[in-house]
Structure 1
Amino acid sequence: IPTIFIIYTNFYPYLSYISIPSNYYSIASILLILNKLLFSIFDFRSIYIRNSLLIIR
């Protein structure tokens, strides 16, 4: 199962499939990363639904 880690910069990045370095002292940086990730997921989902509706018609 591919995993995405938001990790502290001194952590071992080889433990995850995708590593996103961040500073855990700054909540704003973590919120920014999560916000971008959520918008990407929702955008992909809407494209997928739109394409599947075109195939059904």
Structure 2
Amino acid sequence: MKNYFFCYDKRLRDFLRYEKNIDYICEGRHLKTGMIFTLFERTKKLNQALEEYKNR
């Protein structure tokens, strides 16, 4: 599953979706924890956005 990024953080999800205009594949709920996640495809654009978010 290294070609996908499971995002469980709402602020990060919103940053990726609305500020960086990165489309997601789907949203779901983790079977054991019940936490909601947003699934993104791992791309160069996503990796750059994650680095930018981390360095804020």
> Greater relative contact order (Cα 8 A, min sep 6): structure 1 or 2?
2
Whether the TM-score (by the shorter chain) exceeds 0.5 is no
User: Could you tell me the TM-score, scaled by structure 2's length?
Assistant: 0.31
Higher helix share: 1
- What TM-score do you get using the length of structure 1 for normalisation? 0.31
Q: Which has the higher strand share?
A: 2
